[in-house]
């Protein structure tokens, strides 16, 4: 595979890129800061410098970083402590530009890292509520994009060593999951065509990751029945 990872300097993105590189696939990491390029190269990832939040960056201009790739992964995020405006410019706006870039580049496979617990009504006017709303709108835009998408919603992220086991379903109880296991889940999703069109949550659990992802196909509560959900 040749996979372009938006938000390439993030922890999950770098772990995914390294997994791809280790098995001989190509990973490109879209980053804003050129100073991060050497870190990505050390992981085996080809850095591509593009600022998603730049007003001059459009889906069409971003497509230059995507051309020739077989799939795109959106793993960017504004991060904790950032104002509500960045939740919309990165967590939502970045997804919109990524969808458009996929269309311009002729890529039909898109996997995005979303967030647990954003179905249904979201109340509150604090930054976290805005983050949830931005994520929910991004997911809705992905589902309406016409692309072959998968939306992965991890639970509470940790920096623990990978366990190699998860619980994946349409909805899960909140709990911890190492970032390394999220990256391995993304890799399994990219490898498994049966995940196209699915939205699922994932947390640390009892199942080997590849088996957990493959098992989503047998669970009726993992099917996106309506495009307006979220």
Please give the positions annotated as active site.
Answer: 131
The strand pair at 71-74 and 46-49 is best described as: unpaired
Residue 12's closest CA among 38, 43, 35, 33? 43
State how far the Cα of 54 lies from the Cα of 166, in Å rounded to an integer: 37
CB-CB neighbours of 102 under 10 Å? 27
State how far the Cα of 191 lies from the Cα of 211, in Å rounded to an integer: 12
Instruction: Tell me the angle at which helices 93-105 and 59-66 cross, rounded to the nearest 10 degrees.
Output: 60
């Amino acid at each position: 595979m040749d996979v372009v990872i938006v938000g390439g300097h993030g922890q999950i993105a770098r772990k995914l890129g390294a997994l791809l590189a280790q098995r001989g696939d190509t990973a490109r990491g879209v980053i804003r800061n050129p100073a991060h390029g050497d870190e990505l190269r050390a992981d085996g990832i080809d850095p591509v410098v593009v600022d998603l939040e730049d007003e001059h960056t459009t889906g069409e201009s971003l497509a230059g970083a995507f051309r020739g790739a077989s799939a795109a992964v959106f793993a960017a995020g504004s991060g904790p402590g950032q104002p509500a405006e960045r939740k919309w410019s990165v967590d939502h706006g970045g997804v919109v530009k990524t969808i458009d870039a996929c269309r311009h580049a002729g890529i039909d496979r898109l996997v995005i890292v979303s967030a647990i617990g954003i179905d249904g009504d979201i109340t509150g006017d604090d930054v976290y509520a805005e983050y949830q709303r931005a994520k929910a709108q991004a997911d809705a835009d992905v589902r309406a994009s016409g692309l072959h998408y998968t939306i992965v919603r991890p639970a509470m992220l940790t920096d623990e060593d990978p366990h190699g086991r998860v619980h994946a379903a349409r909805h899960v109880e909140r709990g911890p999951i190492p970032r390394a296991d999220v990256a391995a889940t993304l890799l399994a999703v990219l490898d498994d065509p049966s995940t196209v069109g699915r939205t699922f949550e994932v947390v640390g659990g009892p199942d080997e990751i590849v088996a957990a992802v493959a098992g989503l196909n047998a669970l009726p509560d993992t099917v996106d029945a309506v495009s307006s959900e979220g």
